[in-house]
Amino acid sequence: MPLVTGTRGSSPEAAKLALLDWALDQSPQDGLVLEFGVATGATLRAISAKKLPAHGFDSFEGLPEAWRGGFAEGAFAQDLPEVGGAELHRGWFEDSLPEFLQSHPGSISFVHMDADLYSSTKTIFDAAFDRFVPGTIIHFDEYFNYPGWQQHEHKAFREFLARYDGEAEYIGYNALHEQVTVRLM
> Rg of the chain over CA atoms, in angstroms?
15
Question: Average pLDDT in the 116-135 region?
Answer: 96
CA–CA gap between residue 153 and residue 131 (Å, rounded): 18
Q: DSSP state, 80?
A: P
Q: Does residue 64 have a pLDDT over 80? A: no
Name the residue among 59, 152, 30 with its Cα closest to residue 180: 152
Q: Does residue 2 have a pLDDT over 60? A: no
Query: pLDDT at position 1, please?
Result: 57
Q: Is the CB of residue 153 less than 8 Å from the CB of residue 115? A: yes
Q: Which residue has the higher pLDDT, 11 or 26?
A: 26
What CATH number is attached to the domain comprising 15? 3.40.50.150
Query: pLDDT at position 7, please?
Result: 44
Q: What amino acid occupies position 150?
A: Q
pLDDT-derived band at 4, boundaries 50, 70, 90: low
Q: Model pTM?
A: 0.90
How do residues 70-111 score in pLDDT, each as one tens digit?
777 767 788 888 899 999 999 999 999 999 999 999 999 999
Residue 148 CB neighbours (<10 A): 11
Mean of pLDDT over the chain: 90
CA–CA gap between residue 157 and residue 50 (Å, rounded): 25
Query: pLDDT at position 9, please?
Result: 47
Instruction: Find the largest Cα–Cα distance for the chain.
Output: 47
Instruction: Note down the domain range covering 72.
Output: 3-184
How do residues 132-176 score in pLDDT, each as one tens digit?
999 999 999 999 987 889 888 999 999 999 999 889 999 999 888
Residue 5 CB neighbours (<10 A): 15
Peptide bond into 53 cis (omega under 30): yes
**Dihedral Cα 153, 175, 55, 47, nearest 10 deg:** 180
CA–CA gap between residue 136 and residue 41 (Å, rounded): 22
CA–CA gap between residue 49 and residue 155 (Å, rounded): 30
Q: How many structural domains compose the chain?
A: 1
pLDDT-derived band at 8, boundaries 50, 70, 90: very low
